[in-house]
A = this chain, B = another copy of it.
Amino acid sequence: MTDHTAALDELRAQLGDRLVTTQAELDLHARNETYYPFSPPDAVAYPETTEEVAAILKTCNAHRCPVVAYGAASSLEGQHLATAGGISLDMARMNRVLTVNAEDLNVVVQPGITRKTLNEELRATGLFFPVDPGADASIGGMAATRASGTTAFRYGTMRENVLALEAVMADGTIIRTGSKARKSSTGYDLTHLLVGSEGTLGILTEVTLRLQGVPEAISAATCRFASVEDAVNCVILTVQSGLPVARIEMLDEMMVKGFNIYSKAGLPEAPHLFLEFHGSPAWVAEQMASFGEIAADFGAEGFQTATKTEDRNALWDMRHKAHYASTSFFPGKKLMTTDVCVPISKLAEAVTRSQAESRRLGLTCTIVSHAGDGNYHCGLSVDPGDADEMDRGREFSHTLAELALELGGTVSGEHGIGLGKMKYMDAEHGAALTYMRAIKAAFDPHDILNPGKMLPPPSA
């Protein structure tokens, strides 16, 4: 590990006690929700303004000291880990709502605010920010990983919901991308280039987000199917019919079993769809009726609806606890999660082949799917102390990535590349990877921004 003493001395002069090097802080910033090795930064910096971020980057660029943005640490591919040492740039103090533009349906926030806090602050406006990845992630982290979740089918992912950015580039230059207008045809789309760049091209310091009016009526519904194919085919027809379902989640029979153990759900152990409809009361009723007709064609049973807020919250709370429910079969084991996304026409094939592969490998596997998007997660119960089981888990993950590419899909629907998926970048992007590397080299010639992430070395 390189010695970054000179950079740290300079940063300490700039930030005072907001540059922290206590072991407890370093360890805290090395934590992650997955299996990545413990890799603490050399120091944690807590900037309070864009100008401070610019000064930090200028210093770090001069000293070739890595800088890794840190939000809520909920990323799942180790994006926030300082694996090459250097500075963990913790955005916790840049967590304010700057401007609510209610008439224009957007809000300007600092990157450290989390999505739940943002929605709390928007409560009085009648507007909300719809992207919901489950975790209470920071907005900066969600933008950087191009996050999505259960509502993306209706409202889009961070790709569609970030309208403009302020960012600090590797050498400390502050740029603004996009405008306050809803659309523009002027110049290269740097907003979309930065969204999903995982902190490797610039540090986000302001994010302008699209907002939605809180729907007049919201109804949730659940129903079950005899098979995963029936459930998925019901989703495909729902999508084709143009119904703007707000959420449409598919849970396989093992996932439902997990809910029964963990949340005492008492559901029949069959594949289910969990749905939510947004709109005026009449329009919600019509959407539910239309969906009911489609579902009946695929043999749906046990149609339950939830219109009261507490009942809907209980349903989505159960869904959001899929992580814990998936580990409820063997209390000592840990969860290994996958995140592929395929064209929805291939989703039934992908899910059933995944189930078969988990059986072949003797693995316990739950499946939850943002089915309207063709994105699904397999949750494997694995014992980190069981080398053979861990190997089988990794083999499963690898097979799934290859399956997704074979079916025209992508190795990550929403978790991103980070450390874990770099090995598939070449297979997924081919010659385009050269152009991604060219952008990285042009924007960050000394490779200080989240080095060792996203782009595999050319020799790999």
Instruction: List the interface of chain A (C-beta within 8 A of B).
Output: 101-105, 145-148, 152, 157, 159-160, 169, 173-177, 179-190, 192-193, 195-197, 201, 212-213, 215, 236, 239-242, 244, 280, 282-283, 286, 290, 339, 341-345, 373-375, 404, 407-417, 421, 424-425, 428-436, 438-439, 441-443, 454-455
Contact = CB atoms under 8 A, between A and B. Distances in A.
Contacts of A236: 103
Contact of A196 (B160, B185, B195, B416): B185
A188 B239 CA distance: 27
Given A174-B431, A408-B180, A432-B176, A186 B417 contact: yes
A365 to B, nearest CB: 21
B196 A183 contact: no
A169 B190 CA distance: 19
15 contacts: A173-B434, A180-B342, A180-B409, A181-B343, A181-B373, A181-B408, A181-B410, A181-B413, A182-B373, A185-B412, A186-B424, A188-B201, A189-B193, A192-B192, A192-B193
Contact of A344 (B103, B196, B430): B103
B105 A240 contact: yes
B341 A147 contact: no
Contacts of A429: 176, 186-187
A103 B347 CA distance: 11
A387 to B, nearest CB: 29
Contacts of A147: 185
Given A179-B428, A187-B432, 20 more contacts: A103-B345, A104-B344, A173-B431, A175-B435, A176-B430, A176-B431, A181-B342, A182-B344, A182-B374, A182-B375, A184-B413, A185-B339, A185-B414, A186-B410, A186-B416, A186-B428, A187-B433, A187-B436, A187-B454, A439-B439
The 3 closest A-B pairs by CB, nearest first: A192-B192, A180-B408, A103-B345
Contacts of A341: 179, 181-184
B152 A183 contact: yes
Which residue, of A152, A193, A415, has the highest number of chain B Cβ atoms within 10 A?
A193
Nearest to A213: B242
Contact of A104 (B187, B345, B417, B434): B345
Contacts of A146: 183-185, 189
Contact of A408 (B179, B185, B411): B179
A406 to B, nearest CB: 11
A305 to B, nearest CB: 19
A417 B188 CA distance: 11
A429 B179 CA distance: 9
A402 to B, nearest CB: 14
A282 B280 contact: no
Contacts of A417: 185-187
Contacts of A188: 193, 196-197, 201, 436, 439
A159 B183 contact: yes
